[in-house]
Every structure is written in structure tokens, then in C-alpha cells.
Amino acid sequence: MGIVAGLDSSPDFTRIVVCDTDSGAVLRQGYAPHPVEASEAGGRPSDVDPQAWLLSLGEAAGGGLLEGVQAIGVSSQQNALIPLDAQGNTVRPAMVGGDKRAQVAAADLVDALGGREAWAQAVGCVPQAAQPVTKLRWLAKNEPENALRTAVLLQAHDWLVWQLLGRPVRRTTDRGGASGTGYWSAATGAYRPDLVELALGHQAILPEVIGPADAAGTTPEGLLISAGTGETMAAAFGLGIGLGDAVVSLGASGSVMAVHPEALADQSGMITSLADATGMHLPVVTTLNAVRTLRGAAELLGLPDLESLSDLAMKSTPGSHGLVLLPYLEGERTPNLPHTAGTLAGLRRESMKPEHLARAAFEGMLCGLGDALDVLRGRGVEVRRIFLLGQAAELPAVQAAAPALFGAQVVVPQPADYAAIGAARQAAWALGVSQGTLDPRTPPAWQGAAAQVLEPGDELAVGQAVRQQFTAVREQTHPGAFRV
């Protein structure tokens, strides 16, 4: 039938995949790093000129990569905020990433609306340092002149779509991207301009939220551009997850998200209620400690890498001879214990061996993520299978323990550019709808991700016993901190 492209502009690079419209098979791909200098501290900068994203996009699309492409979908890093003036020029560089400097602004905003519950009810999430609404508050407090000049608010994928279309008068976004701003509610499907004013000090123009299969527009060359979405939503769409599926992401911190038919307002603030790229919802629960727990254990044991830690852990047995690690090394969000530290319990002479500590690190990390899964299950979210993402998902110790600890089938997809593939699938959907060949309620059925499938099998009872051991130590150490 044709070919479409998916473009993923992540914090560090642009990746483009060109896919067959019918099957989703990746035909060719391009890649280019963003021309961005590291911050003074050596990490990612908090401020980035968005032109850098366009430059790397142009480079990634070089060599005729987009020849014959009929539609493009855009996925991009979430939480990046681009403030524009009335003429459509950037007021200041884009505010990107975790943005630690905005932590005070987040606490400020929580108080200004009357607490965590008020925010959860209003927009399905409690302000965090990274969110656009919090960045607006920081801007108003620290750069009042820039805040006054700010007339239009865009996120990264909104801005890229707008640029690809030649900067038209109409600016658009999608439900997925809007749901992460802190001023759009997935439950009501509407903006809360009062929260923009609360944060920024005045109203601003917000992009129109269009439907999952709608086109944002057509370029002067006749190329259809779909709605675009945030990286999380694009990756979920690229993986092909649906009702009954959850995704556990193993980064330094961890996250658990699942597809659900309705938005979940969570008064505790543990659930962030996002929208997905299909018209459904993506409730997310975050843990602050995932792979950082493994790295810490590897350093403590003098091991060079996580593979060595995994090999060592495999010499132990489920339950780590009674050793339990509560992995709250950076404080924790789930349960909400921001100022706590980790705990190692169950030390006996026979358990004081490197392999048992290594195993306890894996079990502690996975039990913490199991707690996050239970938050969703406790709210009626069905979890039949779990997609496990991140480099650590390939480790034998993770794969050996995860199905039994999570109590579900675990799917480990082969590494691929799922956000870019999801963006391409969205482009194919919008193209099909525009041509009258696809239903706006039903996305194209692309072949699923190639994956390993792991079953809990006979280990299920053992896994649940390990979870109980972890829960007992958690309750003893932090009584009542975790309520599902």
C-alpha cells in the first residue's frame, strides 16, 4: 500500500524508522545525535535550543531516507516545555528533563491548590519537578520578564509537528502529550487554564488537542503529519500493548504502566493518570529505585558490571537465605517515603555471603516494582501479562525471578526503537483514515514485537512467599506507609 515514517526525538538523539504501512515492517532507518553540549555538571543540560532537534532531524533524514514516504508521526521526549512569544518565537531555550531546580516550585504549586489530593482530582497527577506546569511556576518566580512575554505553550512533539507543517496558525497536540503537562485532565479531556494561570501568573494559548487518528495537517509538499505524542505513549503503541497488559521499565528508577479504559484519580498521588495514543488511558506508578539498586549492590560487592552481579545472584536461591533489601536508596515515591534510606534485614551468619546479597538486590528491586503493580491492581487494573523493558531486562537473574514475583506472564521484547515504531504506526493510522481505508477507532494491526515469553509456572508459590517476606520487612520498618 505505501510507506510511512516515525520520528522519535529523545533527549539525546533523533531516530527515524520508515515502515511498511500494512505490516509495520521496518524498511530503513536513520539516526543522529542532538548537537547539544553537556551541562557544566557533565550531565544533560536543563535548557536546550529546540533548533538542535531540527538540526539532528535533518541529519537523521539525510540520504533520501524519507523518499516515497506518505505520512510522518512524531514522538518526542516528555516534559520539555517551549515557551513562545506572541510572534511564535522562543522566549528562552526549551526547559527539558528532570529539572531538579524546579523542586521548590513543585512543592509551592501543591500548596497553592490545597494539597496533593486537590491536584490528583484536578488533573490526575501531583506536580513533580519535571512537569511543564512546575516549570511554568519556576519561570514566573525566577525569570519574571520571560514569564510575562510567554504567550503560547508547546511541548517538544507539538513544536516539531508545528515546524514540519511550516509554523501554521493552528497548533495541535494529542491526549497523550497533554496528559503529562499538569494542566490537562485525562478524566475530563479538557485543559485547566486556571492551573496555567496559577503557575505562570497569566493565561497562555494552548495547542488544540486532536484525536488519536486525526492529522495535524499536511506539509506544502503534501506529506501528512499525524497528531504526534509523547515517548511513553509512542513506545506503548509501538509495542502493541492493550487491555490486560502492563509495562515495567527498568531504568535507574522504575515505572509501571498499564492500559485501562478509564482515568484513575488517585488521592494518594501514587498514580499518575496519563492518556495513551489510542483513546484509552495509561495509569503510571513510579519507583525511584530500580537499576540504581543493582549498580549500588555491584559496587558494594566489588563487581565490574551488572552481568557479574546477575551471575553471582544465580548462585543463591529464591528468598536469598532470608536476606531482604528494601531498595529505598534515594528515598521512595511508592511507597511515599521521600526522606528514607534503604534497609538490609535478615542478616544471619549463613546468609552473609556475596551471592545472597546479590540475589537480595534483584529481589528487592523487583518486589518494589511488584508493589507498584499492586497499586494498579488494587484499583481494578487487569494485568495478565507484563512487558519488561530496559537493558537490565536481559539479565538472567531478572528473567529468573520476575515472572514468579510479579505473578504473571513476562514478555521481554527484543530491543528496538519502539517509540519511533509507535510514531510510524500513528502516521499509518492517520493516513488510512484520511484515505477512507481505516476506522478512526481501530489502529492498523501491525505485527507485534519479537519477544521472549517467560511463565511463572511452578515457581509461582515460591515467588509469592518471597513477596510476603519482603512485605513483612517493609511493614515492620515503615508501618502503614504502603496502602493499596
Model pLDDT for residues 110-134, shown as the tens digit of each residue:
999 999 899 999 999 999 888 999 9
Mutual angle of helices 306-313 and 354-377, in 10-degree steps: 100
* CB-based burial, 127-143: b 16+ in 10 Å, e otherwise: bbbbbbbbbbbbbbeee
Cis-peptide into 415, omega within 30 deg? no
DSSP state of 209: E
The pLDDT tens digits for 430-456 are 999 999 999 999 999 998 888 999 999
Helical axes 156-164 vs 51-60, angle rounded to 10°? 60
Our measurement of the distance from residue 117's CA atom to the centroid of its chain's CA atoms, rounded to an integer in Å, reads 22
Residues 6+ apart with CB under 8 A from 412: 387, 388, 393, 394, 399, 451, 452, 454
- Residue 1's pLDDT band, with cuts at 50, 70 and 90, is low
Evaluate if residue 41 carries a pLDDT over 70. Answer: no
Does 146 have pLDDT greater than 90?
yes
User: How far apart (Å, rounded) are the C-alpha atoms in residues 143 and 132?
Assistant: 15
More confident residue, 36 or 406: 406
Helix (H) or strand (E) holding 386: strand 383-389
pLDDT band for 413, please (50, 70, 90 cuts): very high
Predicted model pTM: 0.93
Residues 220, 66 contacting (CB under 8 angstroms) = no
| Whole-number percent of the chain with pLDDT over 90 | 90
Strand 324-326 and strand 281-287: the pairing is: unpaired
Q: For residue range 211-263, what is the model confidence (pLDDT) as tens digits?
A: 999 999 999 889 999 999 999 999 999 999 999 999 999 999 999 999 999 99
Q: Answer left, alpha or beta for residue 68, where phi above 0 means left and psi between -120 and 50 means alpha.
A: left
